[in-house]
Amino acid sequence: MGTIALVGNPNSGKTTLFNALTGSNQHIGNWPGVTVEKKEGKFKYKEVQYTVFDLPGTYSLGAYSEDEIVARDFILSGSSDVVINVVDATNLERNLYLTTQLLEMGVKVVVALNMMDEARQKNIEIDINTLSKNLGIPVIATVASKNKGLEDLIEKAVEYAKSGEYPKINISYGEEIDREIEKIESLLDSSNSKYPNKWLAVKLLEGDEEIFKLVEKDFELPRDVLSSIKEKAAVYELEIVDRRYAFIGNIIGSAVKKPIREVETLTDKIDKVVTHKYFGIPIFAIIMFVIFQLTFAIGQDLLGGYVGDFVGFIGEKVADLLTLINSPEWLKSFIAEGIFGGIGTVFEFIPLIVVLYFFIGILEDTGYMARAAYVMDGLMRALGLHGKTFISMIVGFGCNVPGIMATRTLDNKKDRMIALLINPFMSCGARLPIYLVFIAAFFPSHGGIVLFLLYAFGIITALVMGKIFSKFLFKEES
C-alpha cells in the first residue's frame, strides 16, 4: 500500500484529477485542529491499493493561511511516498512557483502538466522532455477532465516513489542572500532536524513566522540571532520572490513557445468588461436586477397562472367526484377549497423559485459569480472584510447553511467569524416564498423591483454590520 499527495494551485484541475483517480471511493472530513477540508480517496494500480490525499489548493507553501500550513505540514511529515504536483499548462510561470518550493523541501515530486488541451487551443507549445530535464523531475502531460494521461502519470509516480532518487534544485538568490543562507545553515547543522536546513534558511529569510517559532523551539538559537534574521527578512523577502520567478523564467524559456500575439478569446473580452474597475459593480447590479425582473415575468406572469389553474382544475374535478358519491358539504369544502386551494397558492410560487435558481445556476456555471467576487474585493476590503467573504455571501443566496460552511475558505479566524455573523442577513431560498407572498399581497405590479430591493437591502445590511464587527468586535489584524 502506498500514499500519494496531490498538491496544486486552485483551479489547476487537482480535484478533477483526484475524482478521476478515486471515483466514489472517497472520504471527506477536516484536518485535525482546523476547519480546512480533508479529502482522502483510494484506488488500485497493478493490484496494489494506494491512498490519495487531495491537499488544499494553494499558490505557495508559506504560512499565510490555514490551507498553506495544512498542505506544507502534510508534505513535510513524510506521510506520502510521492507528491503529484498538478500544474496548469496555460499558466506555467505562476504554477511552477509552488513546484520550486516543493523541490526545495527535498520531497519526491512528479508534475502532472494538466489542461494540455487548453494550452494547445491557446497555441502554447510545451516541450515536455525539456521541461522535465530543466526541473530534474518527471513531467507527464494530462487532461484530467478527459482522463487522458492518467495511466502514464500513476505509472511514473509509483516508479519514482520506489526509486532512490531525490530531486536536486539549486536556486541562486544573489550573492548576498546566498551568503546569508549559508550562515544560517551553519547555525542549524548541529540539530537533527527532519527538515532540510537550506529550506529552513530560505523560509527564515522569507519572514515565515511559523518557521521562526519552529526554529526557536527546536534549535537553541540566541534571540539576538533570530532578531537579526527577522530584520534581514524584511529586506530580502521580495528579492527572494523575484529570484525564484527569474529561475522559473529560465526553466520555461527553452521549454515553452507562446504565440507572439496571444489570441484573445470571447471569454477574455467578456472578462475585461464584467471585471472592469469602474463598470464591474454596476454591471453586477444590473444583471441581478434583470434576473429578478425576468423571474417575475416568466415565473409569475407566464407560468404561475397555469400552475394555479391546473391545481384549481384538479380541485374542481375532485369536488365533482365527491358530489357524485354524496359526500358531506364540509368534506367537499375542506378538500376542494381548503387543501387544493392552499396547494394551488403554494404551487404558484414554484415557477418563481425554479426560474430564479435557473438564472443563478447559469451565473455560477459560467463562472460569473467568481468574477463578481473578484469585482467586489476592493469594496469588501474598504469595509474591513476579506474579498472571499463575498463568495460565502453569494452561496448564502441559495441557503445560509452552505454559505456558512463556505467561510472555511477564509484565511484567518477574524475573517471567518465576521463572515459567519453576516451570512444570515443574506436572503436564502427559504425566505423567497415569504417574500413572494408579501409582494403578491402588497406590491403585485412592482414584483421584480421590490424583490431586487429586498435582496439588495440584505446585502447592504450585511456589509454595514461587517464593517461594525470588523471595527469594534474583532480588532486584531486580519
Indicate if the pLDDT at residue 18 is higher than 70: yes
End-to-end CA distance of the chain: 42
**Averaged pLDDT for residues 59-82:** 78
Max mean pLDDT among 79-83, 107-111, 350-354 falls in 107-111
Query: If pLDDT is split at 50, 70 and 90, which confidence band does 301 have?
Result: low
Indicate if the pLDDT at residue 465 is higher than 80: yes
Buried b (16+ CB within 10 A) or exposed e, 37-54: bbbbbebeeeeeebbbbb
**Averaged pLDDT for residues 420-427:** 88
Query: If pLDDT is split at 50, 70 and 90, which confidence band does 259 have?
Result: low
Indicate if the pLDDT at residue 442 is higher than 90: no
Which is more confident, 104 or 23?
104
- What is the model's pLDDT at position 168? 81
Which is more confident, 371 or 469?
469
Closest to 274 in 3D by CA, of 357, 391, 397, 366: 366
- What is the model's pLDDT at position 35? 46
Lowest mean pLDDT among 131-135, 233-237, 381-385, 473-477: 473-477
Tell me the average pLDDT of the chain.
Answer: 80
pLDDT per position as a tens digit, 303-358: 666 776 777 778 778 878 878 888 788 887 787 777 777 777 667 767 777 777 78
Query: If pLDDT is split at 50, 70 and 90, which confidence band does 63 have?
Result: low
The H or E element that residue 27 is part of is strand 26-30
Q: How far apart are CA 175 and CA 200, in angstroms?
A: 18
What is the fold, at CATH topology level, of the domain defined by 2-162? Rossmann fold (3.40.50)
Query: If pLDDT is split at 50, 70 and 90, which confidence band does 26 have?
Result: low
Query: If pLDDT is split at 50, 70 and 90, which confidence band does 16 have?
Result: confident
- What is the model's pLDDT at position 110? 92
Torsion sign (Cα): 257, 262, 267, 271:
positive
**Averaged pLDDT for residues 441-447:** 83
pTM, rounded to two decimals = 0.64
Cα-Cα-Cα-Cα torsion 347, 351, 357, 362, nearest 10 degrees, comes to 160
Indicate if the pLDDT at residue 217 is higher than 60: yes
Buried b (16+ CB within 10 A) or exposed e, 289-305: bebbeebbebbbeebbe
Task: Evaluate whether 71 touches 55 at the Cβ level (below 8 Å).
Answer: yes
Max mean pLDDT among 57-66, 407-416, 423-432 falls in 423-432
Task: Evaluate whether 389 touches 374 at the Cβ level (below 8 Å).
Answer: no
- What is the model's pLDDT at position 111? 92
Q: How far apart are CA 334 and CA 319, in angstroms?
A: 10
**Averaged pLDDT for residues 166-174:** 83
- What is the model's pLDDT at position 85? 92
Q: Helix or strand or coil: residue 5? A: strand
What is the fold, at CATH topology level, of the domain defined by 175-257? Helix Hairpins (1.10.287)
Percent of all residues in the chain with a pLDDT value above 90, rounded to a whole number: 4
Lowest mean pLDDT among 93-102, 124-133, 246-255, 320-329: 320-329
User: What Cα–Cα distance (Å) separates residue 308 from each residue in 46, 197, 242, 299, 349?
Assistant: 60, 73, 65, 12, 9
φ and ψ at residue 54, rounded to 5 degrees: -90, 95
pLDDT per position as a tens digit, 391-402: 778 767 766 766
Residue with the three cell numbers 507528491: 83
Cβ of 358: how many Cβ atoms within 10 Å? 14
Query: If pLDDT is split at 50, 70 and 90, which confidence band does 254 have?
Result: confident
Write the DSSP symbol of residue 148: B
Indicate if the pLDDT at residue 404 is higher than 80: no
| Pairing assessment for the beta strands 48-54 and 82-88 based on DSSP bridges | unpaired
Residue with the three cell numbers 527546536: 218
Distance of CA 394 to the CA centre of its chain: 14
Cα-Cα-Cα-Cα torsion 195, 196, 199, 205, nearest 10 degrees, comes to 80
Which is more confident, 220 or 471?
471
Indicate if the pLDDT at residue 223 is higher than 80: no
**Averaged pLDDT for residues 203-216:** 81
Query: If pLDDT is split at 50, 70 and 90, which confidence band does 441 have?
Result: confident
Indicate if the pLDDT at residue 218 is higher than 80: no
Indicate if the pLDDT at residue 417 is higher than 90: no
Domain range summary for the chain, segments of one domain joined by +: 2-162, 175-257, 280-473
- What is the model's pLDDT at position 262? 60
Which is more confident, 27 or 1?
1
Indicate if the pLDDT at residue 86 is higher than 90: yes
Write the DSSP symbol of residue 302: I
Neighbour-count burial of 84, counting CB atoms closer than 10 A to its CB (0-12 exposed, 13-18 middle, 19+ buried): buried
